[in-house]
Amino acid sequence: MKIKKGDRVIVLSGKHRGEQSEVLTVLPARNAVILDSLNIAKRATRQTRAVMQAGIIDKFMPIDASAVAIWCSKHKGPARVGYRIEGDTKIRVCKQCGEKL
CATH of residue 42's domain is: 2.30.30.30
Q: Find the domain containing 56 and state its range.
A: 8-94
| pLDDT tens figures, 31-84 | 999 999 898 999 888 888 776 778 888 889 999 999 999 999 888 889 899 999
SS3 65: helix
Please check whether residue 100 lies inside any domain of the structure. no
Torsion sign over Cα 43, 44, 49, 53? positive
On whether residue 101 sits in a domain, the answer given is no
The Cα 68–Cα 64 span in angstroms is 7
Residues 5, 24: Cα–Cα separation, whole Å? 6
pTM: 0.80
